[in-house]
Amino acid sequence: MPWNFRVFRGKGTTSPAQLGLRLVRRLPKTLTRRFQVMVLADTAFGSVEFVQGIRKLRYHGVVGVRCDRQLLDGRKVSSLYKRGQQVRLDGLPLVVSISWFYLKRNGKWQKRFVLSTKALKASTINWWGKRRWQIEGWFKTAKHRFGLHPFAQQTKLGMYRWLILSLIAYLLAHACLSLYWSHLIARLGANGTISSPYSPPSVGCMRVVD
């Protein structure tokens, strides 16, 4: 469930890593006091600033890392042969564990590398790394089903408007579906067929232009 957001205003402004750290700092205290927090982030947040930032906040994270990321000894991440191996990345004064898994994207299998700031088994790191892709699924739904991609708002007020309109659309869709099934069940005969001609209830739509 989304609980907070920040607006990236482009090159030369607050970086995505800094915005991400602000989101982490705003985690509800009721959650951080009762549960162990594991920060999941994609490759765009795999910078030294972000990884060090979450450790300063005393959180651990599983973050995507580029295959050409350089290790302290000059090798690249892609040259590793053992999942879960503890290494040092160039510029990062922390020991991290590196693992990888395969995801099927557009019909092809792609190799994804992830780092963990906590010493974990490779299978556990992969499990957390794959969990992040559920978040990616939410973003795709938000973009293509609820119009976030063409909405292109760059202000907090615009985002709040989009969230409210999306919530209204979501509730209307569920109300329409519930109404449809209630009418359908009411018209079903004893033999499981519709006893009279049926047309689903119509729902009016409106488009709000900002």
Condensed to tens digits (0 to 9), the pLDDT of residues 125-170 reads: 999 988 887 777 767 777 777 776 666 666 778 777 877 887 888 7
Domain boundary among 144, 160, 187: 144
- Look up the pTM and report it: 0.68
Based on the fold, state whether residues 67 and 132 are members of the same structural domain: yes
Burial class (CB in 10 A: 0-12, 13-18, 19+), 92: buried
pLDDT of residue 149: 67
Whether 9 is covered by a domain: the verdict is no
The CA–CA distances, whole Å, from 117 to 9, 123, 143, 167, 173 equal 29, 15, 31, 36, 42
Burial class (CB in 10 A: 0-12, 13-18, 19+), 48: middle
Whether 3 is covered by a domain: the verdict is no
Whether 167 is covered by a domain: the verdict is yes
Among the residues of the chain, which ranges form H helices? 16-25, 29-32, 48-56, 122-144, 148-151, 156-186
Calculate the average pLDDT of the chain. Answer: 81
Whether 2 is covered by a domain: the verdict is no
Whether 64 is covered by a domain: the verdict is yes
Based on the fold, state whether residues 113 and 23 are members of the same structural domain: yes
Whether 50 is covered by a domain: the verdict is yes
Q: Structural domain of residue 196, as residue ranges?
A: 146-210
